[in-house]
Amino acid sequence: MSRDELPMAHGAPVLQAVMRRAPEDFVVEEIDGFEASGSGEHLLLSIEKRGMNTAFAARRIARWAGVDEASVGYAGLKDRHAVTRQRFTVQLPGREPPLVESLSFEDAGSGESLRVLQAVRHARKLPRGALAGNRFTLVLREVSGTREAIDARLDAIAREGLPNYFGEQRFGHGGGNIARALAMFAGRRVRREERTLLLSAARSELFNRVLARRVAEGSWHRGLEGEVWMLDGSRSVFGPEPWSEALAARLAAFDIHPSAPLWGAGEPRSQGQARALEAAALAGEDARRLQQGLASAGLKQERRATRLRPAALGWRWPGADALELRFELPPAAYATSVLAELGRVDNAAPDRSSE
């Protein structure tokens, strides 16, 4: 499903705007999930970069250190058209790194820059997902819509959260990754890196279809009979179990969330009304082919929360038609999902690399 087809939870759009007029309008900072060990064969680099994506920065670090790209680790992908702060590790067993200052650079012509904020020894390579979340500061330009309605929508998001859709970055330009995934499942050979990308896109598509059905029916933030519950900030799930005052209190406190399937081999854990909704949302030939392909690829049934509440959500109006948003999201949550619950936000950036 395209972003325009996904239903909104809080009513009709309240604004139109443009984002990424400049990289400084989209600032992302990783929230560290651990402290550096202080010793070991890896160098842990805290980097601020502008105008370059994560893979480009990793290649530059590898060249600087004189190592293969496989020796460079990072926790997550960050956009090119942004200012981002994230950590990298580079494996340097038994030797000292080149001067850290020689890695930093600034190119006035292209607008690209990289600055080392900190360098410290660490025991292990930084694996994907090894972060507590991301902190965003976004400035929307050319905002149209009444401040009263926009402020009210942001208040509602702060109180109630929003649907935890996968962002459009998962699906490639024009959503083309789904067609490519179907072709792969039909026998087209792809590289290992592309296979991983397409499996993720297929899973995300099926999840979004189930969540869209729950948003349309008003159950994205409440439990259904046969619900599988996910603990906040965790991949742990439990249930189904009978509805109780204890579950209601935990749901109201955002300690637990309803969930929807990340498809794989086997049967979903949900039962009853929740299972029936999932089956209805995933009816159709293309959904069946995506399900079969994911199961054949060896993925197992998992779950993802249907509800997301941005932490530390705040905003201000620095100009008559400019809105600055600040919030924090857990790993694998998308800033674009927050923006989409406000209305239509067009991307002014020439590049839309993966987040």
Residue 353 has pLDDT above 70, yes or no: no
pLDDT band at 352 (very low <50, low <70, confident <90, very high): very low
d(CA 264, CA 60): 36
> Active-site positions?
79
Q: Using an 8 Å Cβ cutoff, are 3 and 168 in contact?
A: yes
Q: Note the pLDDT tens digit of each residue in 24-57.
A: 999 999 999 999 999 999 999 999 999 999 999 9
What is the residue whose two structure tokens read 């209190």?
A: 249
Q: Note the pLDDT tens digit of each residue in 263-293.
A: 999 999 999 999 999 999 999 999 999 999 9
280 in helix, strand or coil? Answer: helix
In single-letter form, the type of residue at position 24 comes to E
Q: Note the pLDDT tens digit of each residue in 163-199.
A: 999 998 889 888 899 999 999 999 999 999 899 999 9
Residues 6+ apart with CB under 8 A from 217: 277
d(CA 227, CA 278): 11
Domains contained in the chain, CATH given: 3-23+134-159+310-347 (3.30.2350.20), 34-129 (3.30.2350.20), 163-308 (3.30.2340.10)
176 in helix, strand or coil? Answer: helix
pLDDT band at 350 (very low <50, low <70, confident <90, very high): low
d(CA 159, CA 153): 10
* Mean pLDDT, residues 286-314: 97
Q: Note the pLDDT tens digit of each residue in 222-250.
A: 999 999 999 999 999 999 999 999 999 99
d(CA 270, CA 103): 51
> Helices in the chain by DSSP H: which ranges?
54-65, 147-160, 176-185, 192-217, 245-252, 272-281, 285-296, 335-340
Q: Which residues pair with 116 in a beta bridge?
A: 47
